[in-house]
Every structure is written in structure tokens, then in C-alpha cells.
Structure 1
Amino acid sequence: MGNPASYDVIGIGIGPFNLGMAALLDRVDDVNAIFFDESAEFNWHPGMLIERADLQVPFIADLVTFADPTSPYSFLNYLHKHNRIQKFFFFNRFDIPRSEYNHYAQWVAAQLDYCHFGKRVTDVINRGEEGDPFYEVVVEDREAKVTERYYAKNVVMGTGSIPLVPEGFDAFPVEDVVHTSQYMCHKDGIMKDSEDILIVGSGQSAAEVFLDLLQRQESGGYHLHWITRSPGFFQLESGKVGQEVFSPDYVNYFHRLSFEKREEELPNLYHLRNGVEEKTLHEIYDLLYHKSIHPGNAPVTIRSASDVKTIDKTDEGRYDVTCHQWMEEKNFHVEADKIVLATGYKPNMPEWLEKMKEEIVWEDDKRFKVHRDYRLAFKDERPHNMFTVTNIEHSHGAGATNLGLAVHRNVTIINKIAGRSVYEESEETVFQRFGTDKE
């Protein structure tokens, strides 16, 4: 059997990671690529596009600039093309509105005719038995309801993440028990006729939802409850030297560690990956302080060190949430009309990957082994590669989902696919030295 592969690479999923790869490949004539996403259009976390919410990385961490500042798909060119660069000059900030980043990415996606939306990948089949091996990718056109087949030497899995919902909380209507990923879709319903609203979680998303509802509390007249299992509501560590863990140099160091050492290290980086931005915490506290001048204007209950355990619907149609204060080892109850879960995300692992389970090298029962260049490790060394930018925190560290490292990841993958140095892979990019020796 010959090799019918008509593509050098097929990208599965078009989030910021794979979209950035597609943008960088636009200038690489000898790599033939195509990308698929089941969504109808590019939309980055639409449920959290809260007004005045900002991106947590500087605008320079756009889709292309770290690899190619001259690219037509840079954020600065987006501003130029939309007659906004003068306004941005006077805006005079490195952080940009989250909704603007989404619009920028949509602008890029619209220009890349090999990015196809409304196309769901239903299967990836290893055709490596005879001749030159390749992957067969089965795609369902969600509108036309037809199945298409594509063939490629390489596949990049960028299927992203899906909401992580506590057990039992997914049994209730999504308009009542809402994950933050859907917050803006249900915001009006959350505020309407609610006496009590419960927010669960302590990261940036939880804080932004709490602040948004707090700002509108007078018109809604509801009591806000905010609880988290974390020992406190901590600020995101933003020290410049500390942020250097989001660098290619740290990724090199982290990947060299044993699986056991990597597991030990991840909790130590919690304050660099989670927590709330200083600006958001200050806005919350200042607003609470102003409201406290007139007692009763801010009915708010905030609790830390508390897990949500179970949820039950009351006879009155409200929700009774059993919580556990793990320091005191005592249970308490919160009754609410609406609940917003800022409980994070988990990797979105496609069903077709399960069929390859016996071929893949696993580091434990849930986490596969990933090479430094983002190739999945297979038991048989194969020339046709499957790359992943999903489920790599355990292999590549705290920057696994950080937009600031997305271009670096894509450069590494593109160079491997092309078999040459298309874009420079930078080393010694920060002031720190991680570890003792280079690999």
C-alpha cells in the first residue's frame, strides 16, 4: 500500500494553540496543513468575556510575535488594520481586554482558508502496516452531515479542555448550576429573581464573576456567597523573576526531571499558575469597603478552607449545598437559587485516542509520556508523528496552558515536521539558570 497522505500535518481543534500554528505555517511553503474544529466559528472562552476583564499575559504573547514579529498576523498589525493603533498607543498598557484578544484571533482565523470550522474529527486511524505510514483522519461535516477522510504524515492534537464539575452538580439544569465557561450565556438568568447566589472557587474566574455580580448587587438585591477549598483567597504571584518559569529554559529543565520529581514540583508552582490578579482583588475589596459605609448594602458571605460536598433541591425549588470546613472538620449548609462553579477544567481527551491506548507509553494510568518536542511516545518508534498540546502539564510543567509559551511550542512542532529550522528555537532566554547542566 502506498502513502496517500496529501497533508504534512492535520491539526485537530482550533483554539489559540493550533490557530497560532496555522498562522505560523502560512509562511512555510513546503508544509501542507489543514485544521479542523467542531465549533461553528472561533470563540475563545465566550462565557467569560466579561466587560473590562483583561488577558493575563501581555499582548506580545499573541499568536505569532515570539517567532516572527514581522508576521501579518501579529496583534499590532490587527490594531493597524482596524485603525486602532493610535488608540492603543494612548491606552498605554501591555494587558489587553479579553474580548479584544478574542476578536483578534477571529480576525486571524478568517484569513486562513485551511482552518475549517463545523468539522468534527470522529476518528484517527494509524495506517502504518504497509508502505509509508500515515494517519487517516475521519471528519464529520456537522452541517452537511457527510463524512470526509483526510490523510497526513503528522497529527497535532489541540483538543483543549472541558469544564470540571464536582460530582453530582451536573445533574441539575445548566441555567441554575452554571460553570464559569457558560457564565455570560446565563448571567441575566442568574441575577433575575435570585435571593442567594453561590460562587465556588478562588481563582481568577471566580473573582471576576464575584466582582461582576457585586457591581450589580444593588439592582439585583441578592446575597452573594463565595467559598473555596483553598486556605485563602490568594494573589497571583506576578514577580518578574518568578515568572521566568514560563520560559523555554524552564520547560527544558522540567522535562528532564523524572516523573516523580515533576509530580513533586507542580504543587510548588501553584501560586504562579493560580490565584487572583492584584488589580481584581483590590477592586473587590475597595467595592466592599465602599458598600460597608451603609450596613446592609453588601450582603456578602466569603469563606475559605471549605469544600462543596453534595447538592440537593429543596421543596421550594432552591438548592441546599452541603459544605465541609476542613480545618475545623465541620459541615455547614448554604442555600442558594443559583450556583456558579469556578472549578476549573480538565483535558479534553477524544474518544478515538482510547483506541490507541495499548500503543502509547503511559507515565501513570491517566497521563501519557510526551517527548520534549511534544510527540506522543509510542511503544513502536514511528516516523509518522502525533503531537499533543493537550494534557502536557505533567510533562512540560506550569506553562503547559500558558499563552506566553504557545508560540514556542508551535515553533518546536513546526521545525520537527519540516525537518529543518524554520523558526529559531531560542535558548538562554531568561536570567535564571534552572538545574545544573544542559541536556
Structure 2
Amino acid sequence: MTKQIYDVIGIGIGPYNMGLAALLEKTELNGAFFEKSPSFAWHPGMLIEKMDLQVPFLADLATFADPKSPYTFMNYLYEQDRMFPFFFHNQTKVPRQEYNDYLQWAAKKLVGLHFGHTIVDVIDKYEAEVPHYEVVALETETGKHHHYLAKHVVMGTGNEPLIIDGMDGLPEGDVLHTSRYLYEKENLLKSKHVTVVGSGQSAIEVFLDLLEEQRRNDMKLSLLTRTGGLFQLDQAKFAQEVFTPAYVDYFHSLSYQQRLENLESLGALRKGIDPDTLTRLYTDLYHKTAGGEKDYVLINPMTEVKSIHPSEKGGYELQCNQWQEKIDYRYHTDKVILATGYKPHIPDWFMDRFKQKIKWEDEKHYRVTRDYQLEFLDQRDHHFFTLTNLTHSHGAGATNLGLAVHRNVHIINTIAGKTIYKNQQNSTFQTFSMKRFKDD
């Protein structure tokens, strides 16, 4: 066992923990980060060509905290000789494939990143002379367990695909989540009928990509959505201010019930579809249906898929419900793509070791402080931070790439016990809380 005690160990290497590693390099704090995958890849199954991020390029690993960092997207463009093409491209959003390449570029430059290491346990050494955590990593290549010590831990274990109950036993080449789309795309294009289930950005991107790749007249595409229609993302300037530190301050100050109600009211900001993507889809449909041919495309809103079962005649039967008309019906298809979103990935060791030690909002949501610490039943100075499962505590911006840097600023300043990076103030034109105006 190594005797070195790191200031912080990060569990999982995605954009969030990678951004933390980037900001740590300019501090006196030392850290190590571990990821089970053999190398970095950002949603490889959904890196569809000509699809852009939904946030501007400033939402990189470091810019909001340190514009002079060597890990900014601007520096990536400079080192890749793409400054002038980006300048003439004249867009603030970047292609997803380029964003993935940027993150891979950063991963090669950052120190302290350990791929091919699965964290299998985290032991709370709260009774030690210097309280710390013992982090156990399983190295994939050798099968050996390695033990690391850290004053603080940051859990960034991300999300995992959310599927409809009872469908996990079906062949993944036939019934698959969007996270595997590109791996199965060639096979899907050979099918006579592909149905996409979902109404968010991923659903429309997959449906649009299949539509643009469609070459046969006998191939049918269907889109079944539970929502009332294909509604676009609210990109109004004032609406976007919910993705600011000031709004996170306000949201976190609300009661748990108020926070849940708040999230329900922000559907157009959380689940809407990029307007450019919808325009592109409508334009493609218009051109493809010139001459009156419409039979190969079906879009059914207000339709909930209750279950999926293999059909006696081949393919699959979807048990559907048009919830507004209250009509149940069956729908036959050859392949099914589930754009049913994701759920937080909470490791088994976390529940085994920490469930009884921390405070909970309800049975699924743990309590988290404003600076992203889990709230323990006992007082402690060795903190357990989480970047996972934060929507209930920090709002719609919990998965926003721009706010990820702001989150890391909070974590680093808390660990250091002083202000290392500036915490952005006065970030909105709106004032959300009226507490300072309250009559005594």
C-alpha cells in the first residue's frame, strides 16, 4: 500500500473530473483520477456526423475559471492549426466529434489520469490520525488491486442507460439504447422498419441520421414520443440564466419539495430539442415527401410504449398507449432504438459503505451541500464530493458543461480552504431570491 496521501482522488474520468484535473495543475494540490475504460471516449455510440454540442465552445474544461489555461478549447484549436477554419466557420457551437477530439487531446496532456482501473471500494478511515479515504482500484490488464489514500474523494461516475422494464433480456442488436447507436447503425440500415422511442435531443438526432442515410423505398422509419409533440429547447437569453451560478445558489436554497416543483416548470430548458436540429428534420421530411410519398415515415406524439415483446411473425410488438385519447394499440417493427435517457450510476460499494453514514432527501436522493459535498451524519473535514445525481440539489444545470467548471471551482476552493479560483458573482440580470427584501 502506498503511503502517499493525495489531496483528492477522482472516481471516473469524464469531462467533469477531467476539468477538475486541469484546474488542479496550477495549484499546490495533488490528485489522481481513475477510469475503468481503457482510454478516453465521450459517448462514442452517439458521435453522429454534423451534430453539434448544445452549448457554446466556452463550456470547455477550464475557460470559465481560467481563460489562460493550456487546456482551453481555444488552445486546442491553436495547437491543431484550426484557428482560422474555426474563425471562418463563425459558429459558437462545435461539432460533437471535435469536442470528443478536444477531450482526447486534453487527456493525453493531463497528468494523474489512470485508465483501465475500476474503483471497487472506498473505505472511510475516519478514525485514523489523519482522517482519509482508502480507494481500492482493480487494474484491468493485470487483475491486481491497488490501494490509494486521499484526504478527499470526488465521485464522477456519470450515468447509465435507462431502459423500459423487461427489455434488458432482448437482443441488443434488435432492441438497443441510443448509447449504442453507431455500433449498430449499419445493421439498422439493412432493416425494413426501425422505430425510435423517445422525444429528446438524442431521439431526434438518431431519427434524423437514419432519415438522411435512408436509401431504400421499402425502409420505414417511425418515431413514437410520449410528449405532446416535438418541442424545441428554450434558448431565450433570460431563460438561459438558470444555467448560472446565481441561479444555482437560489435553487439550492429552496426546500426539497420546492426544488422538485421548480424542475417540473423548466421542461423546455431541460428536455427541449435544439431548434436547428428540428429545422433540419422538417426540411429533410419536406424534400423527401415531394411528390406525395409519406408512407415510409411515421411520427406519433402522445404515445407511451408500455412494453416490447418478440413477435411470432418476426420483429417486435410494441404495446402502446395514446394517453390523450386513452387508446391502447400494438405496433409492429423490426428494430427498436430506445432514446429513453439515462439514470445516475451509483456504484454498489457506495451504497454498501456510505448509505447509513449520510443524510438523504428521500430513498433515491442524497443530501448535498452547496459546494457539492455529501452531508454526513457526523462532522468531518475529509470530504466526499459528488458530481453524480445532482439535479435534485443543484437544478437543471447539474449536467450543463458550462457549470461543470464552476462546480470544480467550488470543490478546489473548499479543499484548499481558500480562494484559488474566482467564484463568478453577479452572473445574471435577474434577481431570483427576495430574501434580502423580506420585511423583518
TM-score of the aligned structures, taking structure 2 as reference length:
0.97
Partners of 1:223 and 1:130 in 2: CA distance: 64
Q: Provide the C-alpha distance between the structure 2 equivalents of 1:284 and 1:13, rounded to a whole number of angstroms.
A: 35
**CA displacement at 1:131 relative to structure 2:** 1.6
Q: Which residue of 2 aligns with 1:350?
A: 347
Q: 1:394-433, aligned counterparts within 5 Å?
A: 394-433=392-431
CA contact (8 A) 2:159 2:343 kept: yes
Decide whether aligned partners of structure 1 residues 217 and 438 sit closer, same or farther in structure 2, where only a CA change above 3 A counts: farther
Q: List structure 1 segments (4+ residues) > 4 angstroms apart after TM superposition.
A: none
1:6 partner letter: I
Secondary structure at 2:362 match in 1 = coil
- 1:134 offset after TM fit, Å? 0.5
The separation in 2 between residues aligned to 1:254 and 1:297, in whole angstroms, is 46
Residue range with higher mean Cα deviation, 313-322 or 81-90: 313-322
Q: Which residue identity does 1:236 align to in structure 2?
A: L
1:297 Cα deviation after fit = 6.0
Amino acid at match of 2:376: F
Correspondence 1:184-223 to 2 at 5 A:
184-192=182-190, 194-219=191-216, 221-223=218-220
Residue-by-residue CA offset, 1:41-61 (whole Å, 9 max, x unaligned): 111111110000000000011
Contact 1:55 1:98 (C-alpha < 8 Å) held by counterparts: yes
How far did residue 72 of structure 1 move?
0.6
- The offset of 1:121, in angstroms, is 0.2
Deviation string 1:186-234 (CA, Å, 9 cap, x unpaired) is 1001111x11110000111100111111112224731111011111110
Aligned pairs (5 A) from 1:260-339? 260-296=257-293, 299-339=296-336
Mean Cα deviation higher: 50-59 or 272-281: 272-281
The alignment of Structure 1 onto Structure 2 pairs a total of residues equal to 435
Taking the TM superposition and a 5 Å limit, the aligned residue runs for 1:80-159 are: 80-159=78-157
Counterpart-to-counterpart distance in 1, 2:151 and 2:314: 55
Q: Any idea what the Cα deviations from partners look like across 1:14-46, whole Å, max 9, x if unmatched?
A: 010000000111111x20100000011111111
Q: How far 1:438 moved relative to its partner?
A: 6.0
For 1:412 and 1:5, the matched residues in 2 are separated by 25
Whether the 8 Å CA contact 2:217–2:296 is kept in 1: the answer is no
Q: CA deviation at 1:331?
A: 0.8
Asked if the contact 1:292–1:298 (Cα under 8 Å) also holds between the matched residues in 2, the reply is no
CA drift at 1:130: 3.3
CA shift in 2, pair 1:298/1:315, >3 Å = closer
How far the C-alpha of 1:296 sits from its partner, in A, is 2.6
User: Over aligned residues, Cα RMSD in angstroms?
Assistant: 1.4
Q: Is the 8 A contact 2:132 2:151 kept in 1?
A: yes
Task: State the 1:283 CA deviation.
Answer: 0.9
Percent of paired sites with the same residue: 50
Equivalence for 1:65: 63
**Structure 2 residue 159 is matched with structure 1 residue 161:** yes
Deviation at 1:437, TM superposition (A): 3.2
Give the aligned residue type for 1:64: A
CA deviation string 1:377-427 (max 9, x = no partner):
000011110000100100000000010101000000011111111100011
Deviations 1:117-163 (A, max 9, x none): 10000000001123221000000001111100000000000000000
Which stretch shifts more, 375-384 or 4-13? 4-13
Equivalent of residue 257 in structure 1, options 254, 259, 274? 254
Taking the aligned partners of 1:130 and 1:181, their CA distance within structure 2 comes to: 42
1:182 Cα shift? 0.7
Give the alignment partner of residue 240 of structure 2, picking from 206, 223, 243.
243
- State the one-letter code of the partner of 1:325: Q
Name the amino acid aligned to 1:32. Answer: N
Q: Which runs of 5+ in 1 are unaligned?
A: none
Displacement of 1:5 after TM fit? 5.2
- Which residue of 1 is the match for residue 9 of structure 2? 10
Partner of 1:23: 22
Amino acid of the structure 1 residue aligned with 2:334: D
8 Å Cα contact 1:376/1:387 also seen in 2:
yes
Give the CA deviation at 1:110: 0.6
Normalised by the size of structure 1, how large is the TM-score?
A: 0.97
Secondary structure at the residue paired with 2:70?
coil
In structure 2, distance between residues paired with 1:219 and 1:72: 48
Runs of 5+ consecutive residues of structure 2 not aligned to the other structure: none
Aligned match of 1:436: 434
Amino acid at match of 2:351: E
The residue type equivalent to 1:254 in the other structure is F
Instruction: Give distance in 2, aligned partners of 1:220 and 1:276.
Output: 28
Instruction: State the distance in 2 between where 1:86 and 1:348 align.
Output: 40
The equivalent of 2:229 in structure 1 is: 232
Report if the CA contact (8 A) 1:288-1:298 is conserved.
Answer: no
SS at match of 1:361: coil
* Secondary structure, aligned partner of 1:225: strand
Contact 2:52 2:94 in 1 (8 A): yes
